[in-house]
């Protein structure tokens, strides 16, 4: 770090939220923040996205739930969480310690009514800045993925949730679709306030000695550097097409990766798997992002958003 | 992340290594518990994205050094095995909940299998240091895999079992848990593969000896944020999935449920 | 190698073809074989898949056409090839030197009529053992990808081609779809003799200094170890569902990777990107596959096909 | 793949290195052409999956060693820069078509820009060895990037241009291609960035001097099987995409088309 870094304005506006920088941990890769808080002061974060919350408590899938792959990992956690009531009572209040950090709650479920009920409950909480609808979890049967792969179902879900939500609703899309732009447009038209792309890519690893899938669940979600090109392409395609902000996620390990997503059109970025490799990943990526701006004479990080396609025209 | 210097890297046997490095935390200021683990990046390459958990085997408080003993069992540990004294490695920890030592105990029974044996060494050392007597039973597939027997013997008697009878007695560790041996014990401490732990749990609960099990699960993060490493436990009469990295790896044997 | 390896039977039957081992170079990653032949005797290969062939000559896309990513690469070649007539006259006859190696010709185009015309032409060639329909090239506008993402279009294409084909028709599927099993079933029902999965995954890389996509084409196809988990999952899902053989491809670098695909349900495998990293990749992978069988007491490699799901029942 | 031993690794300047290694082919039995390239894996890690092309800068036939001179311009070359004498590296080559030397020529004009300069050294050496006179013009952005000037001067006069005038003359290499200089030349040989080559091609074709251009494209395979590295050329009046790795990197300047 050097003195001139004070000159770089890293802040971005995301919906009604002011983020002091565009970097936030991704859902499911930060739990509810308690553990990370023993590594650094969470106040440095642009925002926090907490783990998927469902109506009832869920135990998730049997283990093994994680496996390593080339430049990535597979997970099949299966939405383990204590249910929305306990999340509100036990987990979210701890984040009041970081008043400058908006808290985004990731919501998952099986049926539209589940999602609506969770969002309704969260709408009464003073600790929730925005909702992220997870219609893209590949790891549970009926875990929302059907909403994430059919534009009509997605739109219906968004409309239903929007009728009860008192907070901005961000929809997190699955990359496991033929036409990501179609999905994005359906959600935008149904009233989504922003989009997050991408959730994990469905994958599998076979245990050669056991001669069966390594994960107890069979398949799992691929994350990490391996999927970054897939995420960049989707953020690029979608952000140049829709008029709502896009949050980019997938394989971000460094400040340069975060910059790549901003250039591709993301207004903010989420960091997932990197937190597992390096508990200090988020603050490091924020520092590296600032440093990159200094070195490249960028005064406000907002200058970078979507430049890769703006230059070519739409 | 904490990068520390490798102090020594010894070969203990075929594919078996003892890696000693500067402790990422000050051991004089911070107590570390036997049964805790170190979470180690075997390389900076994304080919080995996840850290590898290895149990604390020896804490040298005086020199502020930690030792792990590990078997090369895949590409990651093979990569780790190439590290030389003076190299820097990226180590998180010690992490998790280790084996608690109870003031009122007099006799402890240590039970280890395979790569579950290393944490028993620091445990035996700390138990002896707090005045308890230590009896150890260790099991291996075959003689070639024996490890740390002499080191453990410093702190008490060690019974060795092998699946094929090529060293010690033939049979599983549970076969060594005779009524006589257990009658003496105030508490047992076990670490090893799931099948062994399950058998030990059954055997010892039958004999009415309380104890601890150190569980092994594949880990994503090692620090409690990915919920990848869970194991079912019974808490307050309710089934829950506890994180082996943060709530464990050591659990009260009574609460551990084997699915 | 050691003597006991003679005991392992690596041969597999693929349609009417006898392959002495299940390993073949993937289309576009071997050109037409001439260059590889300066590195080893192509007779060791199970089969050869040559580069996509179109009706007319194509110059392909502007450069840069390739970019490196974490454990992978992007390409946007754009089907450069001399056209089917010159392929038959100038390229295929050279492969007669390897009579024990079936030659599979990859076919691409824009309209159904193109494909039909190319297949018709190839059906007159003595040098063609099978056709691989590339309905999945992500790198050219109208380059077949629309057939690869709509089951009805794919089925129509397969039916049209089957009416003129005198060789077995293998359909190569795109992973960039919501439901790979639906695509596979549509092709099977339309008469496909076998399936190859997967072609590349659409991806993008942004050049941070230029602040625009690195590839001249914008997006490209992701290949290499990064995509192996995606390919394994698709081979697993499809092979347990359809009754025609599946050829697995995506990220194979070693014999163990090839074994993983066989366990997942592939009858044979293709090696793409690995050839770029190591010109001797194919013969090495064949040796490693044999070695793995020796070490695991596998007498015939056919024992392994689909074991990962057979054990669980269908 | 051919794994060869690093013999020497020198730092020539900031981020500029000369790497010398055992030749993967026997140089006494196989002639290697200036302008050919070596295709080098910078690491075994999949993080750097593709090989990096670096031009042959010096072939030491007597000791069967090759040297490449390269600038650290990204992560891959940074990784390569860490290799030490005695390390093994995976090298393919020399590959491609280099600069042809014509028997009847008497005077050659060598034109290089930036990292296009290294191949000119082996070229100058071979030209001199076959009795031709050599005149070299090299261009760099700034003085700090100069390389191989003294080495080239062994074989003939060297004119230096820099964009900022911090060394030699200020200006592009084309500014140094005076009528006087070129009138003398039977042939020119150029290697450097595309913009330079295009300008050189125009300048020299205007002056009626035949020559060769060594082109740079991103490569997938380096051996002609991926068709990633093409450059447009006019052959038989028809536009074609030639493979720079196999049909090039050196092309007759007349046939090269800059899009
Ligand atoms: C709390 C704990 C303590 C451990 N202590 C020791 C010890 O002291 N000595 C020792 O030799 N081994 C120990 N192990 C097992 C050790 O972690 C694995 O052998 C090691 O991770 C294998 O890595 P690899 O790269 O060689 O294998 P690979 O198969 O290449 O590893 C791939 C992935 O799977 C994970 N993995 C593979 N096998 C295991 C396993 N058995 N347990 C957990 N994760 C696994 C790896 O960590 C990695 O993420 C311990 C495991 C746990 C959970
Ligand atoms: C025929 C040929 C000969 C060359 N000779 C020399 C030489 O003698 N000395 C020298 O310093 N440089 C030379 N270059 C350029 C050199 O190949 C690149 O600087 C190098 O590949 C950059 O790798 P990196 O990992 O540092 O960069 P990264 O940006 O990390 O590389 C990522 C990918 O892009 C490719 N790439 C990046 N820049 C270039 C480039 N300019 N040209 C081709 N591929 C690129 C890399 O090979 C790699 O595949 C030559 C290039 C070619 C095509
Ligand atoms: C272990 C794990 C758990 C995850 N849990 C959730 C979740 O609960 N909800 C969600 O929307 N995404 C979840 N994700 C997806 C991430 O938020 C993110 O979209 C994905 O991992 C890609 O980013 P990365 O490559 O930076 O990890 C999870 C990912 C991982 C690896
Ligand atoms: C440079 C390049 C060119 C390719 N050209 C073709 C092609 O012409 N036809 C085709 O069906 N697939 C083509 N592919 C896809 C490969 O055949 C293969 O399906 C894909 O690369 C995944 O395998 P891999 O990870 O082993 O490379 C190409 C891939 C690459 C990298
Ligand atoms: S390993 Fe991530 S929670 Fe335990
Ligand atoms: S780099 Fe592959 S053909 Fe030239």
Rounded CA separation C100/C95 (Å): 10
CB D22 within 8 A of CB D64: yes
Interface test mutation site (partner A, options D43, D46, D75, max chain A beta carbons within 10 A): D46
The response to whether residue A228 sits with its C-beta less than 6 Å from ligand 3 reads: no
| Residue in C58, C27, C250, C231 with CA at minimum distance from that of residue C142 | C58
Residue D130 within a domain:
yes
Q: Are residues B243 and B158 in the same domain?
A: yes
The response to whether residue B74 sits with its C-beta less than 6 Å from ligand 1 reads: yes
Residue D257 within a domain:
no
- Dihedral sign, Cα of residue B71, residue B74, residue B77, residue B83: positive
> Which among B36, B216, B222, B249 is the best mutation to test ligand 5's pocket, defined by most ligand atoms within 8 Å of the CB?
B222
Q: Are residues B45 and B123 in the same domain?
A: no
| Residue in D115, D117, D122, D66 with CA at minimum distance from that of residue D98 | D122
Residue C182, SS3 per DSSP: helix
Residue B82 within a domain:
yes
Provide mean pLDDT across the span C140-155.
76
As a whole number of angstroms, the longest Cα–Cα distance in chain D is 52
Question: Which residues in C lie closer than 8 A to residue A74 (C-beta atoms)?
Answer: 229
State both tokens at C227: 């995509």
To the nearest whole Å, the CA of A130 is away from the closest chain B CA by: 21
Catalytic amino acids of A?
A: 137
How far from each other are the two terminal CA atoms of chain B, in whole angstroms?
Answer: 36
CB A51 within 8 A of CB A32: yes
Q: Are residues B114 and B241 in the same domain?
A: yes
Residue D40 within a domain:
yes
pLDDT value of position A2: 40
In the 8-state DSSP scheme, what is residue A280? Answer: T
D10 touches chain A (CB under 8 A): no
Question: Where does a domain end: D70, D95, D120?
Answer: D95
Rounded CA separation A90/C271 (Å): 51
Count of the separate structural domains present in chain D = 2
State both tokens at B156: 């008490």
CB contact under 8 Å between A230 and C222, yes or no, is: yes
pLDDT value of position A142: 52
Q: Which residues of A257-269 are buried (b: 16+ CB within 10 A; e: fewer)?
A: bbbbbbbbbbbbb
| Residue in A28, A133, A146, A136 with CA at minimum distance from that of residue A77 | A28
Q: Are residues B29 and B75 in the same domain?
A: yes
pLDDT value of position C305: 98
C71 touches chain B (CB under 8 A): yes
Q: What is the CA radius of gyration of chain D?
A: 18
CB B19 within 8 A of CB B6: yes
CB C62 within 8 A of CB C216: yes
pLDDT value of position C146: 76
Distance B49 CA to ligand 5 centre (A): 15
Rounded CA separation B50/B162 (Å): 32
Distance B1 CA to ligand 3 centre (A): 22
Of A63, A66, A70, the CB nearest to B47: A70
Residue D114 within a domain:
yes
Residue B102 within a domain:
no
Q: Check whether A137 has a pLDDT greater than 70.
A: no
| Residue in D159, D155, D154, D186 with CA at minimum distance from that of residue D171 | D159
Residue D193 within a domain:
yes
pLDDT value of position D164: 95
To the nearest whole Å, the CA of A290 is away from the closest chain D CA by: 20
CB contact under 8 Å between C63 and D231, yes or no, is: yes
pLDDT value of position C163: 97
φ, ψ of residue A213 in degrees (nearest 5): -55, 140
Q: Are residues D46 and D126 in the same domain?
A: no
φ, ψ of residue C259 in degrees (nearest 5): -60, -40
Question: Where does a domain end: B40, B62, B95?
Answer: B95
Q: Are residues D89 and D197 in the same domain?
A: no
Rounded CA separation A188/A283 (Å): 31
**Which protein residue has the closest C-alpha to ligand 3 atom 23?**
A250
pLDDT tens, position by position, B2-43: 799 999 999 999 999 999 999 999 999 999 999 999 999 999
Question: Which residues in B lie closer than 8 A to residue C229 (C-beta atoms)?
Answer: none
| Residue in B175, B172, B176, B217 with CA at minimum distance from that of residue B194 | B217
The response to whether residue A148 sits with its C-beta less than 6 Å from ligand 3 reads: no
Q: Are residues B68 and B196 in the same domain?
A: no
Strand partners, D162: D140, D170
Q: Which chains are within 8 Å of D by 3+ CB pairs?
A: A, B, C
State both tokens at D187: 């042939």
| Residue in A306, A185, A188, A178 with CA at minimum distance from that of residue A240 | A306
How far from each other are the two terminal CA atoms of chain D, in whole angstroms?
Answer: 36
Q: Which residues of C39-74 are buried (b: 16+ CB within 10 A; e: fewer)?
A: beebebbbbbbbbbbbbeebebbebbbbbbbbbbbb
pLDDT value of position C136: 77
Question: Which residues in A lie closer than 8 A to residue B42 (C-beta atoms)?
Answer: none
Ligand 3 atom having least distance to the Cα of A273: 27
Distance A203 CA to ligand 3 centre (A): 14
CB B89 within 8 A of CB B70: no
Q: Check whether C2 has a pLDDT greater than 50.
A: no
Q: Are residues D142 and D206 in the same domain?
A: yes
CB D253 within 8 A of CB D214: no
Rounded CA separation D15/D47 (Å): 21
Q: Check whether C119 has a pLDDT greater than 50.
A: yes
Q: What pTM was estimated for this model as a whole?
A: 0.97
Ligand 6 atom having least distance to the Cα of D225: 3
Which H helix or E strand runs over B108?
Answer: strand B107-113
pLDDT value of position C137: 65
pLDDT tens, position by position, C231-279: 999 999 999 999 999 999 999 999 999 999 999 999 999 999 999 999 9
Residue D69, SS3 per DSSP: strand
CB A265 within 8 A of CB A308: yes
To the nearest whole Å, the CA of A182 is away from the closest chain B CA by: 31
Rounded CA separation B80/B73 (Å): 11
Q: Pairing between strand A48-53 and A23-25? A: unpaired
Q: What is the CATH number of the domain that holds D8?
A: 2.40.30.10
pLDDT tens, position by position, B48-93: 999 999 999 999 999 999 999 999 999 999 999 999 999 999 999 9
Query: DSSP letter string over C4-20?
Result: GGGG-B--EEETTEEES
Distance C35 CA to ligand 2 centre (A): 22
State both tokens at D29: 């039995």
Q: Check whether C13 has a pLDDT greater than 60.
A: yes
Rounded CA separation D49/C277 (Å): 7
Of C201, C213, C225, the CB nearest to A70: C225
C311 touches chain A (CB under 8 A): yes
Provide mean pLDDT across the span A157-185.
96
Question: Where does a domain end: B67, B95, B123?
Answer: B95
Ligand 1 atom having least distance to the Cα of B77: 26
Query: B243 lies in which domain range?
Result: 107-252
Ranked by mean pLDDT, the top range of A136-145, B172-181, C87-96 is: C87-96
State both tokens at C145: 């990808």
Q: Are residues D62 and D166 in the same domain?
A: no
Residues in the ligand 2 pocket, defined by CB under 6 Å: C 68; D 37, 50, 52-55, 68-71, 73-77, 115, 118, 216-219, 249
Confidence of residue A110 (pLDDT cuts 50, 70, 90): confident
A3-60+78-205+221-304 CATH choice from 3.40.50.150, 3.20.20.30, 3.20.20.70, 3.40.50.300: 3.20.20.70
CA distances (Å), C301 to each of A94, A203, B237, C306, in order?
Answer: 56, 24, 50, 11
Q: Pairing between strand C72-75 and C194-197? A: unpaired
D48 touches chain B (CB under 8 A): no
Enumerate residues 6+ apart whose C-beta is below 8 A from B39: B51, B52, B53, B91, B92, B93, B95, B219, B222, B223
pLDDT value of position C5: 45
Distance B93 CA to ligand 3 centre (A): 24
B227 touches chain A (CB under 8 A): yes
CB D26 within 8 A of CB D41: no
* Average pLDDT, rounded, for chain B: 96
Q: Are residues B90 and B124 in the same domain?
A: no
Q: Check whether C314 has a pLDDT greater than 60.
A: no
Confidence of residue A311 (pLDDT cuts 50, 70, 90): confident
Ligand 4 atom having least distance to the Cα of C249: 23
φ, ψ of residue C276 in degrees (nearest 5): -75, -35
Question: Which residues in A lie closer than 8 A to residue C201 (C-beta atoms)?
Answer: 201, 229-230
Rounded CA separation A290/A284 (Å): 10
Instruction: Note the Cα B215 to chain centre separation in Å.
Output: 9
Question: Which residues in B lie closer than 8 A to residue D43 (C-beta atoms)?
Answer: 45
State both tokens at B146: 């024996």
Rounded CA separation C275/D1 (Å): 11
D46 touches chain A (CB under 8 A): yes
Q: Are residues B239 and B136 in the same domain?
A: yes
Rounded CA separation A275/D180 (Å): 64
| Residue in A150, A180, A170, A39 with CA at minimum distance from that of residue A104 | A170
| Residue in C209, C261, C211, C207 with CA at minimum distance from that of residue C231 | C261
Q: Check whether A139 has a pLDDT greater than 80.
A: no
State both tokens at D101: 């030397």
| Residue in C8, C186, C27, C42 with CA at minimum distance from that of residue C104 | C27
Distance C133 CA to ligand 6 centre (A): 24
Provide mean pLDDT across the span A211-240.
97
Question: Which residues in A lie closer than 8 A to residue C222 (C-beta atoms)?
Answer: 229-230
**Residue stretches of chain D with pLDDT short of 50:** none
Rounded CA separation A267/A237 (Å): 14
Rounded CA separation C131/C53 (Å): 10
CB contact under 8 Å between C73 and D220, yes or no, is: yes
Cis peptide before B249 (omega within 30 of 0): yes
Chain B (48-107) residues lying within 8 Å, Cβ to Cβ, of chain A = 48-51, 76, 92
Confidence of residue C139 (pLDDT cuts 50, 70, 90): low
φ, ψ of residue B37 in degrees (nearest 5): -130, 160
pLDDT value of position D184: 86
pLDDT value of position C138: 64
* Average pLDDT, rounded, for chain C: 94
Q: Strand ranges (DSSP E) for chain C?
A: 12-14, 17-19, 23-25, 48-53, 66-69, 72-75, 103-107, 130-134, 169-172, 194-197, 201-203, 206-207, 212-213, 220-223, 246-249, 268-271
pLDDT value of position A5: 45
Q: Are residues B132 and B174 in the same domain?
A: yes
Burial class (CB in 10 A: 0-12, 13-18, 19+), A154: buried
Residue D138, SS3 per DSSP: strand
């Amino acid at each position: 770090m050097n003195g001139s870094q004070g000159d770089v304005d890293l802040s971005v506006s995301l919906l009604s939220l002011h983020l002091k920088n565009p970097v936030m941990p991704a859902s499911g890769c930060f739990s509810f923040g308690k553990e990370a808080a023993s590594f650094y002061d969470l106040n440095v974060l642009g925002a926090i996205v907490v783990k998927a919350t469902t109506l009832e408590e869920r135990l998730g899938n049997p283990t093994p739930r994680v496996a390593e792959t080339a430049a990535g990992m597979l997970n099949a956690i299966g939405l383990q969480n204590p249910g929305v009531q306990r999340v509100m009572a036990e987990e979210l209040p701890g984040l009041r310690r970081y008043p400058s950090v908006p808290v985004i709650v990731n919501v998952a479920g099986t049926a539209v009514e589940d999602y609506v009920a969770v969002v309704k409950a969260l709408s009464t909480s003073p600790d929730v800045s925005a909702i992220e609808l997870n219609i893209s979890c590949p790891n549970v049967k009926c875990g929302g993925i059907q909403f994430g792969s059919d534009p009509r179902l997605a739109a219906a879900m968004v409309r239903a949730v929007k009728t009860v939500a008192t907070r901005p609703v961000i929809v997190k899309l699955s990359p496991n679709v033929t036409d990501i732009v179609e999905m994005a447009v359906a959600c935008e038209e149904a009233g989504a306030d922003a989009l997050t792309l991408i959730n994990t890519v469905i994958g599998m690893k076979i245990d050669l000695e056991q001669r069966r899938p390594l994960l107890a669940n069979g398949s799992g979600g691929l994350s990490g550097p391996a999927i970054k090109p897939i995420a960049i392409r989707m953020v690029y395609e979608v952000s140049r097409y829709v008029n709502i902000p896009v949050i980019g996620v997938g394989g971000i390990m460094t400040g340069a990766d975060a910059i790549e997503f901003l250039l591709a059109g993301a207004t903010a970025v989420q960091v997932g798997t990197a937190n597992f490799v390096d508990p200090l990943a988020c603050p490091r990526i924020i520092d590296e992002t600032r440093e990159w701006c200094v070195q490249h004479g960028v005064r406000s990080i907002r200058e970078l958003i979507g430049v890769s396609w703006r230059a070519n025209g739409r | 992340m904490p990068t520390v210097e490798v102090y020594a890297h010894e070969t203990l046997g075929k594919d078996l290594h003892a890696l000693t490095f500067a402790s990422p935390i000050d051991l004089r200021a911070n107590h570390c518990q036997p049964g805790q683990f170190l979470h180690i990046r075997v390389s900076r390459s994304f080919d080995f994205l996840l850290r590898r958990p290895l149990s604390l085997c020896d804490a040298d408080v005086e020199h502020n050094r930690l030792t792990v003993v590990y078997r090369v069992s895949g590409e990651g540990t093979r990569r780790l095995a190439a590290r030389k004294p003076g190299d820097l490695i990226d180590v998180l920890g010690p992490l998790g909940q280790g084996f608690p030592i109870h003031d009122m105990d007099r006799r402890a029974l240590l039970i280890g299998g395979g790569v579950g044996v290393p944490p028993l060494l620091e445990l035996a050392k700390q138990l002896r240091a707090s005045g308890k007597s230590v009896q150890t039973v260790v099991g291996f597939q075959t003689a070639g895999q024996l490890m740390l027997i002499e080191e453990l013997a410093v702190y008490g008697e060690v019974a060795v079992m092998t699946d094929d009878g090529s060293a010690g007695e033939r049979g599983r560790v549970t076969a060594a848990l005779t009524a006589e041996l257990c009658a003496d014990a105030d508490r047992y401490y076990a670490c090893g593969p799931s099948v062994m732990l399950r058998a030990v749990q059954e055997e010892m609960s039958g004999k009415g000896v309380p104890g601890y099990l150190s569980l092994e699960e594949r880990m994503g993060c090692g620090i409690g944020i990915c919920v990848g490493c869970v194991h079912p436990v019974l808490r307050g009469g309710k089934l829950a999935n506890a994180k082996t990295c943060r709530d464990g790896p050591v659990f009260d044997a009574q609460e551990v449920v084997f699915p």
